[in-house]
Every structure is written in C-alpha cells, then in structure tokens.
Amino acid sequence: MTNQIALVTGANGGIGSKITEELVKAGYRVIAGYYPSEKDRATAWINDAKYTQDEVRLLPLDVTDAEHCQEVLTALWQEEGQIDVLVNNAGITRDALFKRMNFEQWDAVIKTNLNSLFYVTHPLFTFMCEKGSCRIINMTSVNGLKGQFGQVNYSAAKAGVIGFTKALAAEGAKFGVTVNAVAPGYTNTAMVSVLKPEVIDNICSTIPMKRLAEPSEIAAAVVFLASENAQYITGETLSVNGGLYMH
C-alpha cells in the first residue's frame, strides 16, 4: 500500500476506469471524478467493480466549469489533506471537417480537453507544491503530436496539453512536483469497438504493431509515471501507440 491518494478525472470512461483499476491495484486510494449528469453510470461502474470506500470515492466534477472546480477541489484537499497524484484524463471528441466544424464543436472540445487542465490543476497545484513529491499526469493523444484529418479541434487541444505539461513541469520541478503526459494511440475502448470491423482493420493496418492498444497498457504508463521510479522524469510525453508515430 502506498497510503497515497490519486484524483482521476473522467474516471468512468474506457481508459479512465482502467487507470483507476490499476492505481487501486498499486495501492492508491482513488478519487474518481465523473461528469455530474453521469451519476447513475458512475455508480453502476463502482458497484460492478466491487470497489470499497477505502479504494475508490466517487466525486461529481464538471471539468468545464472553473468556479465549480475551484470550490469542489479546494474543499476536497481540505477534507482529504492530500492529493499525491492528479490524472487529467477527461476528454471528448466532436469530429468534423474544419470547413464544416461549428463553434459549439470547437468550444466543447477545447473546454473539456484543454481548459479543464487549468480548471482542475490550478486549485491543487499550490497545495501539491507545498506538500512536495506529487505527480501530475495529463492525457494527450497521438493526434496531438501528428495531427489528424477531421480533428482540428481535438488535435489542437491535445497539442495544447503537451505545451501545458512542459511549462508546468518547469514550475513544479523545484518543489518535487513532476508533470508528464501520456499520449495513447488508437485504443480498444467501447468508443472504438462500435466501429465496423473493416474500419478497425484499416486502422490496425496503419499501426506497425498491427493492433489497437489495450486500456491496461495505457494505464500501466500512468501508474509508472505516478511511481517513485519516475521521480526524475518531468516535462515528458510518453507515447503508447504501437509505433504509429515516432517522434
């Protein structure tokens, strides 16, 4: 047991739920952030996984609302006394060709995938620096590194995550707060599994390893960056994409 607490946003999603699972296995107590309107889904997930209160605590958190995050997360720190690991995992897609993309599609993705890093991290960062030996891990994407047709909004947001990570790492380093990013490639989640088999086959044909990533492989990268073994790594982006993009 680590006696440490990790906060994971978007914790009830395909990758987020696996990150939660692997952190629990590694001995962390996890605060599982979920979008407030998804309470029933989040509760069902916790019940199905048979987590105890000592393992996972659900936290309704709208990562697109700055004032809400400030209030909820300040209260959370005061109640828990520590957040050792923050995993900014919440994210959405609203894909469209740029010439057909509307403001709502752009704004929703930027708010959820990029602005949320400020909204969630800012209330906790000073506390984490005062405590020391904390970890911030931000989920970016292979498409934030290489860009993707039909995903100008998503690629822009995920590229911004990398810039955010590098800059904040420079500020946190002297306090022992590391800030890193994980960049998954195409991953075998429910969102991908609904695609037609021929579409998945076409995606896999572009990946040197000829398969999708498993959520457990993404989660393993997060758990590593959260561990003491990664205490001298900061400002880095760890790609987990099967060789799809090498940088």
Over the stretch 51-90, which tens digit does the pLDDT of each residue have? 999 999 999 999 999 999 999 999 999 999 999 999 999 9
The number of angstroms, rounded, from the C-alpha of 20 to the middle of its chain's C-alpha atoms is 11
The values of phi and psi at residue 151, to 5°, are -135, 45
What does the alpha-carbon distance between residue 85 and residue 207 come to, in Å, rounded to a whole number? Answer: 31
Residue 170: per-residue pLDDT: 98
* 125 and 139 Cβ atoms separated by less than 8 Å: no
Q: How confident is the model at residue 194 (pLDDT cuts 50, 70, 90)?
A: confident
Q: Is the pLDDT of residue 1 over 60?
A: no
- Extract the tokens encoding 207: 């990946």
The rounded distance, in Å, linking the Cα atoms of 75 and 126 is 14
- Average of per-residue pLDDT values in the chain: 96
Select from 3.40.50.720, 3.10.129.10, 3.30.1370.100, 3.90.1150.10 the CATH code of 5-186+214-240.
3.40.50.720
* CA dist., res. 14 & res. 71, Å (int): 27
Asked if residues 238 and 37 have their Cβ atoms less than 8 Å apart, the reply is no
Of the residues 28, 35, 119, 154, only one is catalytic, namely: 154
Q: Is 28 a catalytic residue?
A: no
Is the per-residue pLDDT at 29 higher than 60? yes
pLDDT at 137 over 70: yes
Computed over its alpha carbons, how large is the radius of gyration of the chain? 17
Model's pTM, two decimal places?
Answer: 0.96
**Domain-by-domain residue ranges, the chain?**
5-186+214-240
pLDDT score for 2: 64
Q: Which residue has tokens 């590194």?
A: 145
Q: For residue 112, give Cα distances in angstroms to 11, 25, 65, 117.
A: 14, 28, 9, 8
Region 124-149 average pLDDT: 97
Residue 191 has pLDDT above 80, yes or no: no
Find residue 39's DSSP bridge partners: none
Whats the size of the chain, residue-wise?
A: 247
d(CA 134, CA 89): 17
Percent of all residues in the chain with a pLDDT value above 70, rounded to a whole number: 99
CA distance 7 to 230: 18
pLDDT band at residue 247 under the 50/70/90 scheme? confident
Provide the β-strand partners of residue 59: 33
Query: Rounded mean pLDDT of 138-145?
Result: 97
